[in-house]
Structure 1
Amino acid sequence: MDTAIRVLVVDDSNFYAQLVADTLATDYDMETLTGNDAREGLDLLETSEVDCVVTDYQMPELDGIEFLEAARERGFEQPFILLTGTGSETVASEAVAAGVTHYFQKDEGDQQFEKLANQIDNAVEQRRTERKYELLVDNSPDLIAQVNADGEFVMTNEAMADSFDATPGALTGTSLFDLMPEEIAAERLEVGREVIETGETRRFEDGYDGQYFHNVFVPVDLPGERETFQVIARDITDRKETEIELKETVEKLEESNAQLEQFAYVASHDLQEPLRMVSSYMQLLERQYADELDDDAQEFIEYAVDGADRMKQMINDLLQYSRVDTRGGDFEETDFEAVFEQARDNLQVAIAESDAEITRDSLPTVVCDESQMVMLLQNFVSNAIKYCDEGSPRVHVSAERDGDEYVFGVSDNGIGIPEDQLDEVFRIFGRLHGKDEYSGTGIGLAMCQKIVDRHEGDVWVESEVGEGSTFYFSLPAGGVADD
């Protein structure tokens, strides 16, 4: 990549112009070309690549400052260095006001060209840095502007101008109050003035007309521009709309959960009263008219009482299912070996009656709702005992680390589950067997699914008919400590 500095030297003295050009090329490795007046200099700017212009002040037709002004009118932004043999404070002041990068008198001393070369190096490097910044700003999707303490735009990038259906040039000098609601403009200007005064960056969000912005206001610490601040605004409308939709969804979900809990309350109280009446009157009928009822009538009464009891159990299970999310406990560091022991203690009678053997591996400590973990493990172990037809139930609980989660397994030697019904077992009231074969409401594994979902884990089963099943569930390992 060519990084050599290309310098245009313009002087009505052909000798001096060539001397400067040759010295810069020979001693300072710059590429040079020369012109003898401002008109020729303008033509060379049109046809050649130029990084910096070194021009004499006193020239026929157009002097050096007029040359600079003409170049700026044509859109040339290269730094200009003004040389003069008879300078004055008036000329120096005029040169600075016109935008001359450097100004000094011609000197016969040995340091003249070294000083000139250094000034060219510094000016070109500064301009190249400014150009890179301008390209970065202009190509940024963010809305960027420089605003003064009166709320007027000093400069803007294309994105900012496009947001107001304008060009950067058209926005210059326009007030914030001309472009946005007065309240928003006043708030932004207040923050901008605070940034100017304190020199500290401010970040905040605002919005109007259905659009939302994340704003960064930065103090500008440049000579002559300290009373301005830079605005970097990012359109976050899509994100904000998503947040609003999410908030509305959460509110609807909370309302739905409240309704569900209200339903559960009704189910646990009001719906059970008729069931108690059915069961009580059936039993009363049986006691008072036992001698008058034949075997069919006795059987019908047993069916009615059994149906009422099963309905009561289903309602209680549904109530418990509905409260997994709304009545869950806090997540705390929980020793899963203690969870195992508690679940096994709760099943002492079933274990003793079936002569079941319940074993475990070393289990970790996990951040979870301990009471729900006991319920989860108890359901898996209870099912393993229930669905074992031959011999004594053998149940084993294991756990191993898998990346950022723990995977637990509850293995049994039961009847197994057909492959096409593996997903069905987790459906609420999803029973694979008739009530005469195995007791239960079919809600236990659905509750396990709901508990694991609350803990942001997964649950699944692997099984083979006649060989037993292994129910797996995963829990996030973040914030846990191994035993």
Structure 2
Amino acid sequence: MDLQVLVVDDSEFFANHVAEALSSHEEIRTRVTTDPSVARRIVARGAIHCVVSDYQMPEMDGVELLRSIREDGHDQPFFLVTGEGSEAIASEAIASGVTGYVRKGGEDERFQELQNRIVNAVQQRQTEQKYELLFDNTPELLAYVDRDGVIQTANPAMAAAHDAAQSALVGTSLFDLYDEAVARRRVEAGREALETGEPTRLEDTVDGEHFSAIFVPAEIPGEPPMFQFTARDVTDRVRAQQKLEATVEKLEESNERLEQFAYVASHDLKEPLRMVTSYVQLLESRYGDELDEDAREFMDFAVDGAKRMGAMIDGLLEYSRVDTDGDPMVETDLETVVDEVRDDLAVRIDDTGATVTADPLPTLVADRNQVRMLLQNLVANAIKYSESTPQIHVSAADRGDEWTLAVEDDGVGIPESQRDAVFEVFNRLDDRSDESGTGIGLAVCRKIVERHGGEIWVESTVGEGSTFFASFPKREPGEPVEDPTVTAEGAEP
């Protein structure tokens, strides 16, 4: 970016000479005036980054010009160039706040030095302006505080929080603004930052409002040791977290009550079902000879319905226990689990002539019993829904941060419209009346996979078969599980 420098000198010759010398720098562009009043108007238009002025001028000297520009509300870097080098002039210039003081003589060397000083001063001022803009407009409470807790400067947000003017906070102690415990914690955190040279963090509560504060050592030349104190109001986040924790606690209590209810319901509902089955079977044994074929068929329907209802109750109980009765996550050898599933389903495999093959499989950190239940349900479904000799294959793919298990079959397949619905409770793969089942198995599979922080889905071609996929994020034993279906809220950035 070009730096616009205004050169002010009552000598037009010398003003142009200085301007030409400064313009040899690739970043500097100059304007010239011999009238200090005109200089004020040019600066007021806001296009000047720096002023270079002669000290001795008839209308007003350089220091007076500087003061008038400052009174107009402008704070560009200001350099004095003069042929007089008295200590009185230097003292006056410094006291007035000039950026630099350059004596005439040896112009080429002097002007090269001045070029560099102008560029550095403008860049520094621009940096300061950006910081001041941030300091003044940030909604966070920000102040510079000495090691005794006395405020040296504060931003508007800090002043507004204490219903005071910024100037009124300067010289005020944190112990005057907060109760002793809060002030002491904050001062101690600031001192720790000064001693270690590293930022320190603190969360505390003031008058029911929650704040997250950071304390950073601030080394300012010529100033005593200070720390920068920045506090962000996180009341909404904390209250949301508290509400979430209360909700989680209620859900845990609710889940516990539901589990107790499931146990009771399982027993209480199955007892009348057993009674229905027993009495129907008693009717058949005592009066079977007197009943016609329709009556016996009706009794068979009643017995089958009662048995199916009992199986559904058992399935619901199993579904409810996935989260509450899960075992710890441990290293689980999938090849061993597949062997156990073959043993569990040995009768069905023999009856159907099914073949269950597997690739080399990894070791997962998982709930071993639930992974076994998952694979058993998927393999059993593959056997059930095959119209020929079932061919089932189990494999696993390494996806970097997770393992994806796959159970492939050559069964009837699943229409695209049903591929999500099959994982819902009581939603069976089809409605063939000759197939037993409760419609809970795949719902249990989904709940098992979600408990492990993964996802389950199916890809299928009707008439050719299906492949069920289940992802398992990689983790270490004992590492907490993050449920991908839950989005964390209120996290501090």
TM-score (norm 2): 0.75
Contact 1:142 1:232 in 2 (8 A): no
Alpha-carbon distance in 1 for matches of 2:81, 2:418 = 93
Aligned equivalents of 2:46 and 2:348: distance in 1? 96
Q: C-alpha distance in 2, partners of 1:8/1:291?
A: 122
Within the candidate set 318, 322, 325, 1:324 is matched to 322
Let me know the Cα RMSD of the aligned residues. Answer: 4.5
Q: Deviations over 1:128-169 (max 9, x none)?
A: 233134236526756474423254362637xx4797599997
Aligned to 1:441: 438
1:195-253 deviation digits (Å, cap 9, x = unpaired): 34554322344566887654433222221334443345556566556544543443343
- Distance (Å, rounded) in 2 between the aligned partners of 1:234 and 1:220: 19
Distance 2:468 2:243 in 1: 35
Give me the whole-angstrom Cα distance separating, in 2, the residues matched to 1:145 and 1:20: 47
CA distance in 2, matches of 1:136, 1:367: 50
**Distance 1:404-1:189 versus aligned 2 partners, 3 A rule:** closer
CA distance in 1, matches of 2:252, 2:173: 41
Instruction: State the alpha-carbon separation in 2 of the partners of residues 361 and 41 from structure 1.
Output: 85
State which of 178, 200, 214 in structure 2 corresponds to 1:202: 200
Contact 2:159 2:169 survives alignment (8 Å): no
Who is 1:372 aligned against? 370
Counterparts of 2:132 and 2:343, CA distance in 1: 69
Structure 1 residue 392: deviation in Å? 3.2
Query: 1:77–1:312: structure 2 CA closer, same or farther, 3 Å change rule?
Result: same
Listed one character per residue, the Cα deviations across residues 24-45 of structure 1 (whole Å, up to 9, x for unaligned) are 3487676555566754543453
Q: How many residue pairs get matched?
A: 467
Q: Name the residue aligned to 1:2.
A: 2
**Alignment-derived partner of residue 117 in structure 2:** 122
- The counterpart of 2:227, out of the listed 226, 229, 249, is 229
The amino acid that maps onto 2:153 is: V
Take 1:28 and 1:377, find their aligned partners in 2: how far apart are those partners?
76
1:457 aligned to 454, 457, 479, which one? 454
Partner residue, 2:488: none
Of residues 198, 219, 229, the one that matches 2:217 is 219
**Counterpart secondary structure, 1:68:** helix
**How many angstroms apart in 2 are the aligned matches of 1:22 and 1:282?**
114
Matched residue, 1:357: 355
Corresponding letter in the other structure for 1:152:
I
| Matched-pair contact (CA < 8 Å) for 1:462–1:471 | yes
Instruction: Determine if contact 1:9/1:20 at 8 Å carries over to the other structure.
Output: no
The answer to whether the 8 A contact 1:9-1:55 is kept is: yes
Q: Tell me the distance in 2 between the aligned counterparts of 1:291 and 1:241.
A: 69
Structure 1 pair 64–169 and aligned structure 2 pair: CA distance change class (3 A) = farther
Scaled by the length of structure 1, what TM-score is found? 0.76
- Residues 97, 265 of structure 1: CA spacing in aligned structure 2 closer, same or farther, 3 A cutoff? farther
Match of 2:482 in 1: none
1:322, 1:50 → 2: CA distance?
74
2:253 equivalent among 247, 255, 258: 255
Give me the whole-angstrom Cα distance separating, in 1, the residues matched to 2:279 and 2:177: 76
CA contact (8 A) 2:355 2:391 kept: yes
1:120 deviates by 4.9
**Alpha-carbon distance in 1 for matches of 2:169, 2:59:** 33
TM-fit CA distance, 1:424:
3.9
1:131-150 alignment runs, 5 A limit: 131-135=126-130, 138=133, 143=140, 145-149=142-146, 150=149
Structure 2 equivalent of residue 315 of structure 1: 313
Judge conservation of contact 2:358–2:394 (CA < 8 Å) in 1.
yes
In 2, Cα distance between the equivalents of 1:324 and 1:472? Answer: 20
Change (3 A) 1:119 1:264: same
Query: Could you tell me whether the CA contact under 8 Å between 2:54 and 2:61 is conserved in 1?
Result: yes
* Secondary structure of the structure 2 residue equivalent to 1:121: helix
Kindly tell me: are residues 476 and 134 of structure 1, through their superposed partners in 2, closer, same or farther at Cα, counting changes over 3 Å?
farther
**Greater shift in the superposed pair: 206-215 or 468-477:** 206-215
Aligned-residue identity in percent: 42
CA contact (8 A) 2:414 2:466 kept: no
Match of 1:77 in 2: 75
Indicate the residue corresponding to 1:470 in structure 2: 466
8 Å CA contact 2:323–2:451 kept in 1: the answer is: yes
Which residue number corresponds to residue 68 of structure 1? 66
Unaligned runs of 5+ in 2: 477-493
Post-superposition Cα deviations, 1:328-349, rounded to whole Å, max 9, x if no partner, equal: 2333443322221111111112
